[in-house]
Amino acid sequence: MNNNTSRPLRIALTKGRLEKDTVALLEKIGYDCTAVHEKGRKLILPVGDSIEVVLAKAADVITYVENGVCDLGVVGKDTIIEMQGKFFELSDLGFGKCRFALAGKKGEDFYEGIHVRTIATKYPNVARTFFEKKNMDVDIVKIEGSVELAPLLGLSHAIVDIVETGTTLKENGLEVYEYICPISARLIANMVSLKLRKEEIEKLISAIEANI
């Protein structure tokens, strides 16, 4: 077991998109985030006396929380749906709002014809489940980023990706064919930490929930 109650409560934050809003939320509930603002290349940072923040990639936030080396995590529902895993999803934090969508070249009829479509995505499980529900046989190609390139380069017929403002699609001559589901940032917790550090975690959750 990796849970260690003698260290500060440890929260894994998703670097990038969700980082700013998460830090703003921690500040709103009274935590001093100076160390995070002045982080440089540091990855573990104290937030007040009782909490430390770990900056990680979305999928790794889940891995660290599942394994109990972090007690809590802030991660997008997109990564949660894609990765699943053994942890508790505690709250919808209300930021990082976007949607999963099926998208492709503007003006094309994706559903026309009976050929097997190729779908490029960073989220193969989400794409597989989406097409299974439609009873559609598709080939899925895993792409690591800038997924919009795949249909433009002719690698895929469409993409399954997150759409926030829609700007990336628009500026690349693509459009949404179908929205799949809404996404937002979630607070997750390690199952053992929830028992061992119940009071600390509950206190933090009430403060967070009063401010979202």
Binding span for ligand PRP by CB under 6 A among 35-43, 109-117, 132-140, 158-166: 158-166
Q: Is the dihedral of CA 50, 52, 53, 54 positive or negative?
A: negative
CA angle 205/206/209 to nearest 5° reads 80
172 binds ligand PRP (CB under 6 A): no
Residue ranges in 6-65 that form contacts with ligand PRP under rule CB under 6 A: none
Q: Which of 134, 164, 181, 195 binds ligand PRP (CB under 6 A)?
A: 164
163 binds ligand PRP (CB under 6 A): yes
77 in Cβ contact with 161 (< 8 Å): no
And the tokens for 132? 């299974």
Closest CA to 51 of 26, 83, 68: 26
> Residue 6 or 167: which CB sits closer to ligand PRP?
167
- Binding mask of the shown chain, residues 116 to 155, with x at each position contacting ligand PRP by CB under 6 A: -----------------------------xxxx-------
> Residue 30 or 145: which CB sits closer to ligand PRP?
145
CB of 135 to ligand PRP, least distance (A): 27
Residues 201 and 92: their CA atoms lie apart, in Å, by: 16
CB of 99 to ligand PRP, least distance (A): 9
HSE-up of residue 133 (Cα within 13 Å, Cβ side): 6
Task: State the CB neighbour count (10 A cutoff) for residue 72.
Answer: 30
- Binding residues for ligand PRP, per CB under 6 A? 145-148, 161-168
